[in-house]
Amino acid sequence: MVRLTFHGGVREIGGNKILLEDDRGKLFLDFGYPYKKYRDFYEEYLKPRPGAGLLDLLVMGLLPKLEGVYRTDLETEHLWQRFRRAKNYRKLEDIDGILLTHAHLDHSGHIAFLREDIPVYATATTAFIAKAVQDSGKASFDQQVCYFAPRIEECAEGLKQGAYVASSAGDRQRRFCLADKSKLSQGAEKFWEKATGRKKLAWQPLGDICGCSFTLRCFPVDHSIPGACAWGIETSSGWVVYSGDLRLHGRQGRLTELMIKEAARLHPRALILEGTNVDKATNVSEQEVYENAFKAIRYARGLVIADFSPRDVNRLLTFLQVARDTKRKLAILPRDAYLLKTMRLLEPEIPDLAAEESLAIYQETTAARSPAAWLRSIYEDYSSRIVLAKDVGANQGDFILSFSFWDLNELPSIQPRAGSLYVFSSSEPHDEEQEMDFWRLHHWLKHFQLRAFGLPVERNGKWEIPEEERGLHASGHACGADLLRVAREIQPEVLIPVHSEKPEYYVDNLGDSGINVVLPTEGGTLEI
């Protein structure tokens, strides 16, 4: 018998934390950051206290109450006493590993809190993206997926109460077991082992040394970030397949098709399937995004700003093609250049920044005395590609700037000309906080007299993209009909929907399929 306990991802898009256990061992399927649960209590200026270790997260229900799985530098001896009678408390030992499906933080973010000796199973691309994002990120306490500086409980001078403060003991590294080691070139191994500065990382190829108690299958799938995969786990009850996030309509859709075929061959006992876009009837393809973006930008005068997620490397490549075809340069931020450089170590088809004439790197205004090591490496390696705000400001018709809402504060340096174009190629707001950001974005555009294209506008309390400006975003998730096809073709005995606000969709639409749809509950266990 296999037991599946759902500590996240139930009636929630993201935050997947599924514990799989049988007499062979125990695995976590993803260990994600639950954005929605955080937003119920916290915002930008109200955060869990880093000095409180695990306390805030456990009390507020952001982390499951599982003693024994978390970093020991964040817990005192007494911490667990107050939770031992709490609902869903468990002491858990000997976790075989975490099967990570992809490097989006709503699947990977809370790995930061797990003991570093629990190995992470992932594709090489996922591991490398996770590291590039962490290297170039804000080093925030809860996004340390690949390595972390341990904290110690200490009483600062003059204070009566101790707190968890950063120690100088040097980084601790997480063990990664890669599902596709054959892809690793020498340069890639060097990046992984040496990285920027002192961060030496350990990795192990899957199946060799990891000592996992289960037989695992890793199936690459298509999603809005490279390296995504689904997992198959052979348990004492038969195969369990976990989809992660996927789509069929992207450039790599054939990967998902192949996964469906191979997963079907396993005759799985259970399929844990995402359901983000169950209420969407159709998909927009990346080719349509290209065509619509090209049409919008072709006759634009002045500066073009393109707002998309650069970790969606496919989208970046789409806008690079638009830049080439409109005789502009795509100017990306240094952290995106670092991501491309990292990805190229594994995927030679990723453009080489040094050779690609249509790419530029926009140097942001910073107040730091000396740039971080990763940033220095970008400025040194690609010095001929660097452009400054004044270069862009003086030649506005030559650029497509890859900026998001969070980068708008650069505009006072650039001074875009009135009538410049802001192309929005991302998803619509999902909650009130994001709606506020869209209000601010509209104010920025008005202030600089920029034209918007594809941007959601508010009408009668609903934010929607104007009819004639749609088709600029291909979602990372399959639409309802495609998801039903995934379920029917794999034909598991049991289907368990996760990562969805409307899991009933599968109950309503698979009645005649012979598949038993079972809805999980938060913190609840299903025995199969």
Interface residue list for Zn ion (CB under 5 A): 104, 245
The least CB distance from residue 522 to Zn ion, in Å, is 20
Query: Using CA atoms, how far apart are residues 391 and 360, in angstroms rounded to an integer?
Result: 11
Q: How far apart are CA 465 and CA 458, in angstroms?
A: 9
Q: Are 212 and 97 in contact (CB under 8 A)?
A: yes
Q: How far is the CB of 517 from Zn ion (least distance, A)?
A: 22
Q: Which is nearer to Zn ion, 244 or 268 (CB)?
A: 244
Handedness of CA 376, 378, 381, 387 (dihedral sign): negative
Residues in the chain, total: 528
**Least CB distance from residue 245 to Zn ion, whole Å?**
4
Least Cβ distance, residue 475 to Zn ion (angstroms): 10
Q: Which amino acid is at 204?
A: Q
Distance (Å, whole) CA 288 – CA 276: 21
CB of 165 to Zn ion, least distance (A): 33
Shortest Å, Cβ 129 to Zn ion:
12
Whichever of 224 and 292 has its CB closer to Zn ion, that residue is 224
- Shortest Cβ distance from residue 79 to Zn ion (Å)? 32
Bridge partners, 235 (sequence order): 238
CB 247 within 8 A of CB 473: no
Instruction: Compute the least distance from the CB of residue 439 to Zn ion, in Å.
Output: 26
By DSSP bridging, strand 90-91 and strand 97-99 are: unpaired
**Cα–Cα distance for residue pair 277/475, rounded to 1 Å:** 9
Q: How would DSSP label each residue in 84-129? A: TTSTT-EE-----EEE---S-HHHHGGGGGB-TTS-EEE-HHHHHH
Cβ proximity to Zn ion, 121 vs 191, nearer residue? 121
For residues 104 and 328, which CB has a smaller minimum distance to Zn ion in the complex? 104
Residue 344, φ and ψ in degrees, nearest 5: -65, -25
* Cα end-to-end distance, the chain, whole Å: 6
**Nearer residue to Zn ion within complex by CB, 65 or 104:** 104
- CB closer to Zn ion, 104 vs 335: 104
Q: Which amino acid is at 499?
A: H
Query: Residue 107 or 269: which CB sits closer to Zn ion?
Result: 107
- Separation CA 507–CA 273 (nearest Å): 13
Question: How many CB atoms are closer than 10 A to CB 260?
Answer: 23
Please say which residue, 104 or 131, places its beta carbon nearer to Zn ion: 104
